[in-house]
Amino acid sequence: MFGFILLYLLAFIIFMIYVGPFILVLSSIIFVITSKSIDKFSKIIIVIIILLTTFLLFITTIKFNYKPSEYYSKMKQVNDSKSIIGLTKEEVENKLGEPGSIKKSENIYLYNAGTLMKEVLFVNHYDLWAKLHYYALFVYFDENDIVVSTSLKESLEFYVP
């Protein structure tokens, strides 16, 4: 019997942590609206203040988190440092490996650049939204097969080899 009461109390506490603030905001708005001693203009101002305060408190509890894969970090560093500019096709293949077979042309090599997980968290650990983004490293060559530029672009999952 005591275990059931403890379990019920724990469930109630968890429920109130998540739903309590919404109940408090809603009951405050209902109280202001139904109060006879406050004029209409003041009611509108108070409700707007309650809603803005609630919105601002909610926004401050949201955190954006980015989790790059190890491979993404390596390819981003290659792209940002421009370390392969001026290399030949053979030197690029020695450094980065064989280019992707889906997008290989005379002047462009495509490499898998890993993934980047973008998350929106509530109170630092409850996922509101999470999405995995796939990236590709494009290596552009001139007519002499020398790297002239690179770019790191988001791509579709099946597009990257």
Q: Place 160 in a pLDDT band, splitting at 50, 70 and 90.
A: very low
- 41 and 68: one domain? no
* Tally of structural domains, the chain: 2
Q: What residues make up the domain containing 52?
A: 2-60
135-151 pLDDT, tens digit each = 988 888 888 888 999 99
Per the domain annotation, does 161 fall within a domain?
no
Predicted TM-score (pTM) above 0.85: no
Measured distance CA(31)–CA(35) in Å, rounded: 6
- 99 and 128: one domain? yes
- 137 and 105: one domain? yes
Give the residue-averaged pLDDT of 72-83. 90
- 36 and 88: one domain? no
SS3 at position 55: helix
Burial of 75 (0-12, 13-18, 19+ CB in 10 A): buried
37-47 pLDDT, tens digit each = 888 888 888 88
Give the residue-averaged pLDDT of 74-82. 90
User: Is pLDDT above 60 for 74?
Assistant: yes
Per the domain annotation, does 160 fall within a domain?
no
Among residues 65, 67, 82, 76, which one has the least CA distance to residue 135? Answer: 76
Query: Who's near 123: CB < 8 A, 6+ residues apart?
Result: 61
- 77 and 130: one domain? yes
Measured distance CA(142)–CA(149) in Å, rounded: 9
- 10 and 78: one domain? no
